[in-house]
Structures are given as C-alpha cells and as structure tokens.
Structure 1
Amino acid sequence: MTTPERPPVPRETAAGGDAGTDGGDANGGGVPVLTGGGAAPEKARRFWSVRRIPAALLAAAVLGGAGLLLYDVAAVRADRDAMSWRRELADGLATRPLDDTAVLVGAAVAVLLGVWLLVLAATPGLRAVLPMRRTHPDLRAGLDREAAAFALRDRAMEVSGVQSVKVRVGRSKVAVRAVSHFRPLDDVRADVESVLGDGVEELGLARPPALTVRVDRPSTKG
C-alpha cells in the first residue's frame, strides 16, 4: 500500500507571511524582512523657507496703510476734512492720463512687487540647505552647503601632494580647486576625484551633485 504524496507547502505559508518575505526566528515569530521588491525610499524634496522678513514687511505695510485709510474714513464720517494726501491722490487718479510718467512708474513698481511676492510664494527658498535621502517617511534631514564643503575639503587635504583646497558646493555641482606642490598633477587630480567621489556619495544627499576638480601648481608671484 502506497501513501499519497503530500502536496508542497505554499511559500507564503512556510515563510510565515506573504511571498517575497523571509520569516522571523525559527519558531515563526518576529517581523518579516523584505528580500526584494520593497518600496523605494520616499523622494526627498527641498525645504521651504518661512520667509519671515518679506512676510513681516508686507504685513507691516498692509497694516499701516489699512489703519491710516480707516482712520481717515472714520474722520470724514465724523464731519472732519479728509487728509490732504487722500484728496490729492483721488484727484490725481481722476485727472492724470494713463500714459503719465508717474502712473506708469507706479504701475511698474506694483507689477514688480507682485511678481516678487509670487516668486517667493512659489519657490522653496533655503538654497543653503541640501535635502538628504529619506529612508523613513517620518524623518527629513538636510545638510548645510558650507558644512558639506568643509567635510569635502578635509577629505581632499588628506590626499598626498595637496597643499590647499577650495570647495564650492552648489545644488547640482561641486567645484573643487586644489593646489599641489609636488607629485604629477594628473595623479593628484585622479586621487582627489576618487576621494571626493566617495565623499559626495557618503554625504547622503538626495541628488548627489556632479564633481569637477581642478589642480594647479602654487603661484610664483611675489
């Protein structure tokens, strides 16, 4: 008498979870660990500036103008004469032609101010802060551009033959200018590019900037 073969156990049952995960400990407990095809890290976006100074200036201007106009309207309602500036402004707006220089200048200033406010409202600001890669949805991190430049400069100074280094970190580019007092320039440049290439990657930035390296000899002037 033969015993029928036992059907194979589905992978998700044997692993203690869905397919694509490994089980926890030997007893089937623990948290499943993704073995592949997991969710990609969340895209890191730029930090938005609170823009305190433009907001404070605009609020002060609006508050001052509205308060002054409200006071003048209340004074007229109390049978007092309107302020001279408001009478002159009303007469000027009623009598001046549209192609008058003062009208055109005032309109241009208003347009430029409006465009400036729209740009401030639509752009993130905080250009000095570079967003870092997000590995957790509840955690955001940023790196100051000057701090990144200092870190890269320290690593470049460890290269043999480098006398001095200037590093400028931008949003999409890292410009390095090194001065070497010995060793062939090509060898120094290759070593600096290798060291700083690893350094840029280790910064953990969401958008690693491109690296450009320039190596020169010390100036002989003076």
Structure 2
Amino acid sequence: MPSFDLILNAFVTLFVTVDPIGNVPVFLSLTVGLSSVDRRSVALRGVVVAFAILTLFAITGTAVLDAMGITVSAFRVAGGLLLFYTAFEMIYEKRQERKEEVSKSVMKEHIANIAVFPLAIPLLAGPGTISATILLSSELSHATPDNSWVGVVILVFIIFALLLMTAFTLTLAEMLDKYIGNTGKKILTRLLGVLLAALSVQYVADGALALFGNN
C-alpha cells in the first residue's frame, strides 16, 4: 500500500495541473449563452472524457514508456520540466491568457463539441496533466511492487475524486466566479503555481539522481 504522503502528493499534483478554479472563467466564456442545464451537460461530458483519457494513461503509461525504451527516471526529468513550465505560466498568468485564447478560437457552431475540445482536451487533460499521470502511475506502482495494480487503482480513484470535484466546481462556475473574484483567482493560481514549481523541481531532482546513480 503506498504511503499517505505519496497519495497526498499525487492528489495535490493532479489538482494543481487540472486547475478546477482556474478553469472557471474559461468555462464561463466557452458556454456564454447556454442555459444552466446545457452548461451542466457540457461540464459533465467534458469531465467524463477527461477521466477516460487520464485513466487510459494511468493504466498504460508505464507500459508505453517500457515499449519505447524510456526509463522512468528520464521521463521524471522530462515530466518535471514540463510541469515546471506549467507552474511558470501559472505564476506569471501566461496559462490563463493561453486558455482564454483557446476559448476564443472555438466557433459558435462548434459549441456542442466544446465538452471534448477545448474543455476535456487540453484544459482538463492537457500535456502537463497527462505527464503527471504517467509519472504518478509509475511511482504508485513501484510503491507496491508485488501488486502494482493496487497503485494504479489508487491513482484512478484519485483521478475520479478530483474530476468529480471539478464537475462540481464547473456546475457552480457562475457563483464561484462572483464570490472569489478576479483578485482571489489570481492569488490562488499563483500560490498553486509556486506549489507545482516545488513539486516539479523535486521530480527533476529525483530523476537526475536516479540517472546519475545508474552511471
């Protein structure tokens, strides 16, 4: 059974990369003109698609790395760098600007498909989240070497719980946007960005130590 610290680290990492709160204003701009029922439907469909994608990578991620001859240590360094870039964007508000640009690029006639793009991909299950999922799948599996499937099941449950929270957040998007306010969202996003930066540096350090240790 993976340690509580490892499970908590997995939840925090995915929470920061999925960024439910940061996606609230983008979701509202994507669903302008939709009724509350339609907006709720888009949120739920997007979350279901994101869950399917992340679960797929949680189950097959390590196998894909093995098939390509990529060591977990090397991917930990690469994934850590990608997560650090995501953290940099969050701290300096570049990520929010990019999300808003993506939302503006969606044509009105494609409104029925926004649950898949851009909500599920890349807002909820983007490159950073997918990389984090593969890294965490490897870590949790290695924490239970005799029953590696236990770690994967725990990760899938974490993904499910997090996306359930995300669905709840998006269905209450209008209320949250009103009460948290623009300043509150900026502060929260930057704090989460700093936290993700620290986690990503740890990933890079662990991966580099493992790589140099093998040489």
Q: TM-score range by the shorter chain?
A: under 0.3
Larger Rg: 1
**Which structure carries more helix by proportion?**
2
Task: Using CA pairs under 8 Å that are at least 6 residues apart, name the structure with larger relative contact order, 1 or 2.
Answer: 2
TM (norm. structure 1) is 0.23
**Which structure carries more strand by proportion?**
1
